[in-house]
Amino acid sequence: RSGNPLSVLHCQYSCAKRGTIVTEQNFSSMRTAMVESQLRTSAVDDQRVIAVMAKVPREDYVPAERRAMTYVDRPIPLDGDRALNPPLVTGRLLKEADVQAGEKVLLIGAATGYSAALLAELGAQVTAVEVEGGAEIAVPGVTVVRGPLAAGASAGAPYDVLFIDGAVEEVPAALVQQLVDGGRVVTGVVERGVARLCSGRAVAGVLGLASLTDMEMVVLPGFAAPEQFVF
């Protein structure tokens, strides 16, 4: 088997198309290839992020019938019109969030719990929000809250970081209000059908976001911007 990262990922994609069973050893090789060919080549240069994404087995957070797709750089469909973000999106969000050990993180759109596991591995105190009826989430040390994503989890506020694991049309004030003053925010923002990775801070209850780059991201439900009245 070739040790070339691109060859390993090509093998993974071929296996996914054929429905081939992938072994744990192959998953380990694919995880290494993901780090080398998707993360390191695409501005994910935080060594802590690299380390946790090389360590945490993403395949444990992918439905059994789609495990062969685990490290392919594209969204993985889940039940209920939800999907798991590509690894690169997760890596960029983690880099921009710059989470430090002991910080409280409000994770919106927890999906299967993969991002929650990475944040916990970084030492964060994670409250993960996912809709009712979503995938089972079982991550040690992570508090899971079920309900509307846009409502957040006010019982655990205030949080140091708001980590929205997908793209939204707007960030609701209800989520911003659950942050400490100066709290950090990472998210995707949908503008005219294009998803952009954004980061910023909430100061005095006002959120300022800077657009970083266009990315293919999962669009989260329940965040449609109000329709503007047109004369």
119-130 per-position pLDDT tens digit: 999 999 999 999
The two tokens of residue 70 are 């685990």
Amino acid found at 82? R
| Total count of residues recorded for the chain | 231
Give residue-wise pLDDT tens across range 146-195. 999 999 999 999 999 999 999 999 999 999 999 999 999 999 999 988 99
Q: What are phi and psi of 183, to 5 degrees?
A: -60, 145
Residue 81 has what pLDDT? 82
Bridge partners of 104, per DSSP, are 125
pLDDT of residue 160: 98
More confident residue, 228 or 66: 66
When the pLDDT of each residue in the chain is averaged and rounded to a whole number, the result is 89
How far, in Å, CA of 33 to CA of 58, rounded?
13
Pairing of strands 143-146, 159-168: unpaired
210 pLDDT more than 50: yes
pLDDT of residue 134: 86
Using the predicted structure, report yes or no on whether residue 97 has a pLDDT greater than 80. yes
Q: What is the pLDDT of residue 36?
A: 94
CA atoms within 13 A on the CB side of 128: 27
Q: Contacts by 197-202 with C-beta closer than 8 Å and gap 24+? A: 197/89, 197/92, 197/93, 197/96, 199/96, 199/97, 202/162, 202/176
Q: How far, in Å, CA of 223 to CA of 151, rounded? A: 10
The verdict on whether omega for the bond into residue 226 sits within 30 degrees of 0, i.e. cis, is no
What would the pLDDT profile of 53-86 be if each residue is shown by its tens digit?
A: 999 999 999 999 999 999 999 999 998 789 999 9
